[in-house]
Chains A and B, each alone.
Chain A
Amino acid sequence: MSTPTQDSAVYSELPAGVKRQATQLKLADDVRDGSAYLSSFLRRHVAPRNLATAAAANDAHQVVLLDTVVPKKRPSSLQKKGRRQLNARERRGVDCFAASTARQTYRTHVPLHTLWRGYMRSLLQLEPSRALAADAQHRLLKADYHGCVLTVARSRCPSLVGVAGIVLQETRCTWRLVTREDRLVTVPKATCVFTFELEGHVVTLYGKHFVHRPADRCSKKFKSKATIDL
């Protein structure tokens, strides 16, 4: 508030009632001078510990936030909208495909295969003599096949027949195998029938009905289809 004398043309006198109230509150002389009112106001509303900053800020005409506000956290790249998977751009950033296109040798993945064999043995409680239990077969549906030695037994594309190798990666529509000649082969699932052997059990896998992402396969409820034809 500016002093009344200079621009009384702009400001008119305070009405009589307000002036009388001001004298009762013993504020008569402070009312005209804003700064006193402001410091008393600050003393009443601002917590003692940041009274100094409030006063300083007032001199420099800055905005002071009075109530305590939690600063909004900038969401990190992974927690955006609660998404669990990476989107395509992030996946390229993580470059998870690069590992499989590099020079792969069969020998380096044999331990992976033995690991997979152990995993399968425990998963299915395998005994060569006893036939595979029914529920064990269902577990086969949801098992992980990275590291398994898959062979293409039958296929619509004759050149794929006979391709065999250790599974490096399983995508929704293909298997990536590294063959014995250290060649990386991407075999489509939909047109092939795969076989592998586990302690005396030959398992035939009909690719046509296996076209799911490994993650989905665990949660997916399999419905039996009409035919297992190629």
Chain B
Amino acid sequence: MAAFSDLNILHMENVSTKEKLLMAIKLGYEVVAINNYVENVLVKDDKGKSKKEPSKVVEIPAPVKVHLTERDIGDLKVKGASLKQLSRFTTVLSDPGQWRRMQEDDIQAYDLLAVQPTTEKLFHMACTAIEIDIITFNIGDKLTYYLKPAPVSKAIERGVHFEIVYSEGFHSSSRRTFIANALRIMHVTHGKNVIISSGAREAMDVRGPYDVANLGLLIGLQEPQSKDAISTNSRACVLHANTRHSVKSVISVRSSSELKAEDQWTVEACRKEASEESGDDSSESAAEEADSSFDAARPESKRRRMDGV
């Protein structure tokens, strides 16, 4: 079972996100995504402005990074875990044009992309066509369209995940529709590719990972599925996001500076070659000496944890 994760900590201006993060860490979450929710990516020029004048582009906030001191991540350190903080962008999909806007760099800079379709056609498009990781719903009020099994099974095969936001279940008004929609999602996906996350508006809205897993049981997920909903499925979702950034899910290219310290050993072999190649005319001994140091490095790297990245 992968690390507990909550992929939807809502970033709001007035409420301090750091407080929510601290609560999440206290409760035992190790992977957290801070969610920037932008209602509308394209500005609706309803006044019918002339086409020439460029429509005002909605300013997309940069991905939020909360600075946490060592002390904050204290109780995670006790368990030998470390906090992994991701940024996430969510928008309401009300017309197909928005997807083109979402492909621009300022939105692609986010780690996770989530979309909330409003009509049947857009739901079908979100499931089958566009490159996103999470499909969310306005789970507080009645769903405006039916969840057809065909696009849903296509989305499951593509690795797109469906999100159930449980903080909607707290307000008495929206609780009944929250449970109804959650049941409906569960019926159509049979519990596969479901993530349950908080969408917390306040620090008190976050619940512990085991409580959330139990919520999964309430809406009918099987025992292992509801545990996965907060751990393995989220990890698969994050990996799906990495796949999006890679070239055709086959190769991913980063500059050497980005490489973390403990991953240096993966490119040492090439670096040794490069240095050797540049110092070609150097005498044979240099190569010998390079060999010995390389051997010394390799056994140590052999103990490298299997999951290097």
Cβ of A137 and Cβ of B247 under 8 Å apart? yes
Q: Roughly how many angstroms separate A197 CA and B268 CA in the complex, as a whole number?
A: 9
User: Looking across the interface, which residue of chain B has its beta carbon closest to that of A221?
Assistant: B248
B291: A residues at CB distance < 8 A: 180
The A contact surface, by secondary structure, is mixed
The reply on B309 being an interface residue by CB < 8 A is yes
Q: Roughly how many angstroms separate A168 CA and B190 CA in the complex, as a whole number?
A: 47
The reply on B53 being an interface residue by CB < 8 A is no
Q: Nearest chain B CB to A135's CB is how many angstroms away?
A: 10
B258: A residues at CB distance < 8 A: 202
Cβ of B251 and Cβ of A113 under 8 Å apart? no
A210: B residues at CB distance < 8 A: 250
Q: Roughly how many angstroms separate A155 CA and B258 CA in the complex, as a whole number?
A: 21
Q: Roughly how many angstroms separate A193 CA and B108 CA in the complex, as a whole number?
A: 25
A137: B residues at CB distance < 8 A: 247, 251, 253
The reply on A79 being an interface residue by CB < 8 A is no
Within 8 A of B (CB), among A139-177: 140-141, 149, 151, 153-156, 158-159, 161-162, 164-165
Q: Roughly how many angstroms separate A181 CA and B292 CA in the complex, as a whole number?
A: 10
The B contact surface, by secondary structure, is helix
Q: Roughly how many angstroms separate A48 CA and B140 CA in the complex, as a whole number?
A: 104
Within 8 A of B (CB), among A181-207: 181, 193, 195-198, 200-206
Among the 9-residue stretches A24-32, A95-103, A222-230, the one with 4 or more Cβ atoms under 8 Å from chain B is: A222-230
By size class, the interface of chain B is 35 or more
Q: Count the A residues whose beta carbon is within 8 Å of the partner chain — how many?
A: 47
Within 8 A of B (CB), among A38-80: none
Q: Nearest chain B CB to A141's CB is how many angstroms away?
A: 6
Q: Roughly how many angstroms separate A114 CA and B276 CA in the complex, as a whole number?
A: 10
User: Looking across the interface, which residue of chain B has its beta carbon closest to that of A129?
Assistant: B255
Cβ of B273 and Cβ of A110 under 8 Å apart? yes
B309: A residues at CB distance < 8 A: 153-154, 193, 204
Given contacts A153-B263, A180-B295, contact A196 B306 (CB under 8 A): no
A140: B residues at CB distance < 8 A: 247, 251, 253
Cβ of A226 and Cβ of B240 under 8 Å apart? yes
Cβ of A206 and Cβ of B307 under 8 Å apart? no
Cβ of B242 and Cβ of A228 under 8 Å apart? yes
Given contacts A149-B273, A205-B250, contact A161 B255 (CB under 8 A): no
Q: A residues near B, CB below 8 A?
A: 107, 110, 113-114, 117, 131-132, 137-138, 140-141, 149, 151, 153-156, 158-159, 161-162, 164-165, 180-181, 193, 195-198, 200-206, 209-210, 222-229
- Known pairs A113-B277, A205-B250; list 8 more (Cβ under 8 Å): A110-B273, A114-B280, A117-B274, A151-B266, A154-B308, A202-B253, A204-B251, A227-B159
11 contacts between A and B (CB under 8 A): A141-B247, A154-B307, A162-B301, A165-B269, A203-B252, A206-B251, A206-B252, A210-B250, A223-B248, A224-B244, A229-B236
